């Protein structure tokens, strides 16, 4: 039986199923935090400005085993911190799901900056899923914080996080994702053993059960561009590990082949991106060549050691 058929009439399956004397909020915002506790004050500032009623959402910050972090000076009344000792951000998200009271689960990242109407737009879209349940994927806008961006900032700006294209292909990233609590639990949450790619796996499992991904362009979060080669390299290693270590044998084989194939598709996408000048696009291509080298080295490292990057 599909997830679609098991849903309640409101698309949430009647809430979380957890008894509570206080009525459940409309949604729970779940944020895994590992090495980005210094960015949490900016995120909380954005969440304090949400136009959606604050008594209708809760904020769950899930510390994922960070050894040294400084708690925010103050938390909003609707926010709390949970701790998950199991490494990997998807394990932290699952920890948040288990403790969430909201009818909808809304995911974003510690370094994201939601617009003031972000939750309102998502919940407006959620109200339209009563008869046809869906996972909601909001837009992600890269934010350039430098007056004179370096080559790595330009690379991240050009590459971006193309959530609309992802959604058209049946998946989305948890930097801006909403799903009813009922659907998340019926799908048995994210694959908590993955360090990367469990969001795509989750969305595809949902699609196979009759719950497609729907893009919500108006629900936008900002994502700061990465400013250093180390940040670009670390992400490339984490993503590559998620691709080569997880999934079916056929999927892993395809990713191994793609890893050793020149990234001509990425080059083509960069060149056809009209929102930035051509010189920025060519800079991004040069950085992508260097990233490809990192991916190849990471593939050989995984063959030797087998431990994917989690940062």
Q: What Rg value do the Cα atoms of the chain yield, rounded?
A: 19
Q: What value does the mean pLDDT take over residues 179-205?
A: 92
**Is 145 a residue whose pLDDT tops 90?**
no
Q: Which comes out higher in pLDDT, residue 292 or 245?
A: 292
| CA dist., res. 138 & res. 183, Å (int) | 18
Fold observed for domain 3-146+161-224: Spore Coat Polysaccharide Biosynthesis Protein SpsA; Chain A (3.90.550)
Q: What value does the mean pLDDT take over residues 224-253?
A: 90
| CA dist., res. 139 & res. 170, Å (int) | 15
**pTM for the predicted model, two decimal places:** 0.86
How does DSSP classify residue 149?
A: -
**Range(s) of the chain covered by CATH 3.90.550.10:** 3-146+161-224
Q: What is the pLDDT of residue 72?
A: 77
pLDDT (tens digit per residue) in 19-49: 344 578 999 999 999 878 889 999 999 999 9
pLDDT band at 11 (very low <50, low <70, confident <90, very high): very low
DSSP 150-197: -HHHHHHHHH---HHHHHHTT---TTEEEEEHHHHHHTTS--TT-SSS
| CA dist., res. 267 & res. 282, Å (int) | 9
Q: What value does the mean pLDDT take over residues 146-167?
A: 94
Q: How far is CA 59 from the centre of its chain?
A: 16
Average pLDDT, the chain: 88
| DSSP strands (E only) in the chain | 27-33, 57-63, 79-83, 104-108, 113-114, 135-143, 176-180, 213-224
**Length of the chain as a residue count:** 311
Q: What is the pLDDT of residue 251?
A: 86
């Amino acid at each position: 039986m599909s997830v679609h058929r098991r849903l309640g009439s409101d698309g949430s399956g009647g809430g979380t199923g957890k008894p509570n004397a206080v009525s459940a909020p409309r949604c729970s915002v779940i944020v895994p935090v590992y090495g980005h506790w210094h960015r949490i004050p900016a995120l909380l500032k954005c969440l304090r400005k949400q136009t959606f009623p604050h008594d209708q959402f809760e904020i769950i910050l899930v510390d994922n085993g960070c050894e040294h972090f400084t708690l925010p000076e103050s938390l909003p009344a609707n926010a709390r911190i949970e701790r998950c000792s199991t490494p990997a951000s998807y394990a932290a998200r699952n920890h948040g799901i288990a403790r969430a009271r909201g009818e909808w689960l809304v995911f974003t990242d510690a370094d994201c900056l939601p617009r003031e109407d972000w939750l309102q737009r998502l919940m407006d879209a959620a109200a339209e899923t009563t008869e046809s349940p869906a996972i909601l994927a909001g837009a992600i806008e890269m934010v350039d914080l430098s007056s004179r961006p370096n080559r790595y900032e330009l690379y991240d700006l050009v590459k971006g996080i193309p959530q609309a294209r992802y959604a058209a292909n049946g998946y989305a990233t948890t930097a801006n994702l909403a799903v009813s609590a009922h659907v998340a639990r019926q799908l048995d949450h994210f694959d908590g053993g993955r360090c990367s790619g469990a969001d795509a796996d989750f969305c595809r499992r949902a699609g196979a059960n009759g719950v497609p991904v729907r893009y919500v362009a108006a629900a936008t979060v900002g994502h700061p561009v990465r400013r250093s080669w180390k940040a670009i390299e670390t992400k490339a290693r984490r993503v590559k590990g998620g691709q080569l270590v997880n999934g079916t044998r056929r999927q892993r084989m395809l990713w191994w082949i793609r890893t050793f194939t020149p990234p001509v598709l990425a080059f083509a996408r960069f060149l056809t991106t009209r929102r930035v000048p051509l010189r920025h696009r060519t800079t991004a291509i040069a950085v992508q060549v260097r990233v490809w080298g990192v991916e190849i080295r990471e593939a050989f490292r995984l063959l030797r050691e087998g431990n994917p990057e989690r940062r």
